[in-house]
Amino acid sequence: MNVEVHRGWFIAGSLALMLTAATPALALFIRLPNGSERFSELWLLGPSHKAEDYPFNVRVNETYSIYAGVGNRLGYSAYYMVYVKFRNQTQPLPIDSNATPSTLHTLYEFNFFIRDGEVWETLLNFKILDAESSNESMSVNNLSINEIPSGVDSLSVWDEARNGFYYQLFFELWLYNMTSQHFQYHNRFVGIWLNVTRWV
């Protein structure tokens, strides 16, 4: 082998050794993809802590329970808020296409920190406190969540196809933005449909 070949091998070996030695320091400045997507999870479970037996046919002055949960897979600890809202079948839900939350007012809220890779979960109890019905309509006037009453004044008309007065209890996920120093809607929501019975 001639000197030029030895010099080439020496330079290549030196560069490989320097890159290997510098890798821990480079990791502080360069975040390489690890193949996992960064996201947050939002879910609801029934009263038996399973994805079943959700309250559906509900009556006035009876308490119903569900679990709400959030999982943090963002790669950093995060500060979240969950807004609980209530709507009839025509009132607005959040809009996925432009990450816009529902314009309905919040009945209850949760605030919490979650470390990366961990979850937060809570039991939520709700009760319709006051409702009025006729043959063609149902008006839910007041609802309590975890024993905190709120006025909702939401009117539902009889759904002939599904045989009921339908409402939705839904949950929006909000995330604290460190740059703007405000909570922003995190483009995730879940809900359960409720058929409020005539016998109020």
Judgement on whether residues 73 and 25 belong to the same structural domain of the protein: no
Judgement on whether residues 5 and 20 belong to the same structural domain of the protein: yes
Judgement on whether residues 68 and 144 belong to the same structural domain of the protein: yes
Judgement on whether residues 184 and 136 belong to the same structural domain of the protein: yes
Contact partners, residue 14, CB within 8 Å, separation at least 6: none
Q: Tokens 């740059």 map to which residue?
A: 179
pLDDT in tens, 63-111: 999 999 999 999 999 999 999 999 999 999 999 888 999 999 999 999 9
Please give the pLDDT value at position 1. Answer: 52
Give the 3-state secondary structure percentages of the chain, helix then strand then coil, rounded to 5: 15, 50, 35
pLDDT in tens, 125-180: 999 999 998 889 999 999 999 999 999 999 999 998 888 999 999 999 999 999 99
Judgement on whether residues 46 and 131 belong to the same structural domain of the protein: yes
Q: Output the pTM of the full model.
A: 0.79
- Residue 68: which domain range? 39-196
pLDDT at 30 over 60: no
Judgement on whether residues 18 and 53 belong to the same structural domain of the protein: no
Judgement on whether residues 16 and 109 belong to the same structural domain of the protein: no
The CATH number linked to 46 is 2.60.40.10
How many structural domains compose the chain? Answer: 2
Please give the pLDDT value at position 8. Answer: 56
Q: Tokens 């004044």 map to which residue?
A: 153
